[in-house]
């Protein structure tokens, strides 16, 4: 060994020592319960803009005031980063936050199977009962691992002024009417529908809607449980979507359009009058409001549910939806359950509803909704005969991702309706 490599070895050892030291420092600092009996709760949510960060901050300090010795550290992260990167990594590293956002369906099942989540039935049964059947997607084998604080359905956010100018008197109630209205909008010089296909999932939601309206509720429930996609209605959904894309309903260059960021996004196109409609979830009024020059939800904005499809097995009043829930990590202190119960209390839910950020899940709070569009969505939710969870959420990350890839191929004109189902079946086989 010559002198140079000795130096290198020493440097390496020093670097490794430093790295180790900082790791230890990290884990020491991350410990929850300090020796003097004080409890620190860490809470991760997805509120980064609009009125919500302030609401959660208030909730945290109110809870601290009512529970001496408890400290709540709440942090908001961008939704996709939170769900796809931060939470999975935190769970895998064994240093999970106490209270964090939990997506229902497949992801929840994965986390439960790994023992990451705490069952809540014994500690806060009343809170669970208060939201009724909405909690079902957060349950596995009869146990509840999360409670949704907001739940809503998807529909069309549209520009009432442009509809009027194009001579459309009422929102479409069937697919044929929708296609006819698109033609009228084009004639009047408007882009009928904006879709943020660049982000994949907004494009995929179109296929979900066609599947929802082509497949019977029983077929959808079996598919969610057994990953059985053999029913021809799934291929039919792809064919219907292909035909629909063939009528040229979307804006130019939709393959590269993002969904919710910037004036050039699909929400931005609707916000600034460059497209007449967008198919999107219950949160969209807030997103559109944030993309207008004056940061207000525009007065022209209206909402209607996805129309039924004539002659198909699907339920015309079925709706596609989802929500955000909170759950406690497996080794969280009991104060975590209490905080969750407080978040779900009537007063916090009413405050949430009044902020106009979404639809609360506790029925008494729904009356506190002030935003007319959110009221319309809440009404749509109440009228829906059957609510299917977003399919990618319901099927879990692996199948959901393969499904979205297949749908995007169809949008780009390089895939077939059969490919989508094949991708889903293949992905399910790797589980």
Among positions 254-273, residues that touch another protein (CB under 8 A) are 254-258, 264
Minimum CB distance to another protein smaller for 56 or for 411: 411
Q: CA torsion 318→324→326→330, rounded to 10°?
A: 70
Minimum CB distance to another protein smaller for 365 or for 408: 408
50: left (phi over 0), alpha (psi -120 to 50) or beta: left
State in angstroms the smallest separation of the CB of 346 from another protein: 33
Answer yes or no whether residue 200 interacts with another protein by CB under 8 A.
Answer: yes
Q: Indicate which single residue of 72, 197, 318, 391 sits in contact with another protein (rule: CB under 8 A).
A: 197
Answer yes or no whether residue 171 interacts with another protein by CB under 8 A.
Answer: no
Task: Give DSSP secondary structure letters for 41-94.
Answer: EEEEE---STTHHHHHHHHHHHHHHHSTTEEEEEEE--HHHIIIIIHHHHHHTT
Side-chain-side CA neighbours of residue 194 (13 Å): 29
Answer yes or no whether residue 414 interacts with another protein by CB under 8 A.
Answer: yes
Which token pair is 63? 């809870």
Asked if 430 and 226 touch (Cβ cutoff 8 Å), the reply is no
Answer yes or no whether residue 163 interacts with another protein by CB under 8 A.
Answer: no
**Segment lying near another protein (by CB under 8 A), choices 36-44, 247-255, 316-324, 370-378:** 247-255
State in angstroms the smallest separation of the CB of 258 from another protein: 6
Which token pair is 322? 């989802």
Minimum CB distance to another protein smaller for 109 or for 160: 109
How many Å apart are CA 217 and CA 111, to the nearest integer? 26
State in angstroms the smallest separation of the CB of 106 from another protein: 9
How many residues touch another protein under the rule CB under 8 A: the total is 36
Q: Indicate which single residue of 97, 198, 286, 380 sits in contact with another protein (rule: CB under 8 A).
A: 198
How many Å apart are CA 147 and CA 346, to the nearest integer? 14
Among positions 68-107, residues that touch another protein (CB under 8 A) are 84-85, 88, 91-92, 107
Minimum CB distance to another protein smaller for 64 or for 405: 405
State in angstroms the smallest separation of the CB of 19 from another protein: 11
How many Å apart are CA 51 and CA 178, to the nearest integer? 34
Asked if 305 and 316 touch (Cβ cutoff 8 Å), the reply is no
How many Å apart are CA 202 and CA 177, to the nearest integer? 22
State in angstroms the smallest separation of the CB of 427 from another protein: 9
**Segment lying near another protein (by CB under 8 A), choices 208-216, 283-291, 297-305, 403-411:** 403-411
How many Å apart are CA 237 and CA 214, to the nearest integer? 6
Residues at the contact surface with another protein, assessed by CB under 8 A: 84-85, 88, 91-92, 107, 110-111, 113-114, 116, 197-200, 203, 252-258, 264, 396-398, 401-402, 405, 408-409, 411-412, 414, 430
């Amino acid at each position: 060994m010559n002198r140079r490599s000795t130096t290198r070895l020493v440097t390496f050892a020093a670097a490794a020592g430093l790295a180790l030291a900082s790791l230890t420092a990290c884990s020491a600092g991350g410990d929850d319960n300090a020796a003097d009996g004080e409890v620190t709760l860490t809470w991760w949510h997805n509120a980064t803009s609009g009125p919500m960060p302030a609401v959660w901050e208030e909730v945290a300090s109110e809870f601290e005031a009512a529970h001496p010795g408890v400290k709540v550290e709440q942090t908001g992260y961008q939704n996709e980063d939170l769900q796809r990167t931060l939470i999975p990594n935190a769970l895998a590293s064994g240093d999970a936050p106490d209270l964090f956002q939990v997506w229902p369906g497949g992801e929840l099942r994965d986390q439960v199977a790994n023992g990451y989540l705490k069952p809540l039935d014994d500690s806060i049964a009343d809170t669970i009962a208060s939201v009724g059947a909405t909690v079902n997607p957060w349950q596995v084998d009869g146990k509840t691992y999360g409670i949704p604080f907001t739940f809503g359905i998807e529909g069309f956010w549209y520009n009432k002024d442009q509809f009027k100018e194009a001579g459309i008197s009422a929102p479409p109630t069937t697919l044929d009417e929708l296609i006819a209205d698109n033609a009228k909008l084009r004639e009047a010089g408007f882009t009928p529908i904006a879709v943020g296909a660049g982000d994949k999932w907004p494009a995929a939601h179109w296929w979900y809607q066609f599947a929802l309206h082509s497949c019977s509720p029983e077929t959808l429930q079996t598919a969610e449980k057994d990953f059985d996609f053999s029913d021809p209605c799934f291929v039919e959904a792809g064919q219907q979507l292909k035909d629909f894309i063939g009528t040229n309903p979307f804006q130019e260059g939709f393959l590269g359009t993002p969904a919710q960021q910037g004036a050039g996004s699909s929400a931005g196109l609707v916000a600034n009058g460059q497209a007449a409609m967008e198919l999107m979830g219950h949160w969209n009024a807030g997103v559109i409001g944030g993309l207008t020059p004056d940061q207000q939800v525009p007065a022209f904005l209206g909402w209607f549910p996805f129309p039924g499809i004539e002659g198909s097995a699907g339920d015309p009043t079925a709706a596609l939806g989802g929500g955000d829930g909170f759950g406690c990590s497996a080794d969280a202190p009991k104060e975590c359950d209490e905080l969750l119960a407080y978040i779900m209390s009537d007063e916090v839910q009413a405050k949430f509803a009044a902020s106009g950020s979404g639809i609360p899940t506790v029925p008494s709070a729904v009356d506190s909704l002030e935003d007319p569009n959110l009221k319309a969505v809440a009404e749509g939710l109440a009228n829906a005969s059957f609510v299917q969870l977003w399919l990618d959420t319901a099927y879990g990350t692996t199948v959901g991702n393969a499904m979205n890839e297949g749908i995007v191929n169809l949008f780009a004109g390089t895939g077939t309706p059969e490919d989508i189902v094949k991708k889903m079946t293949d992905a399910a086989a790797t589980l």
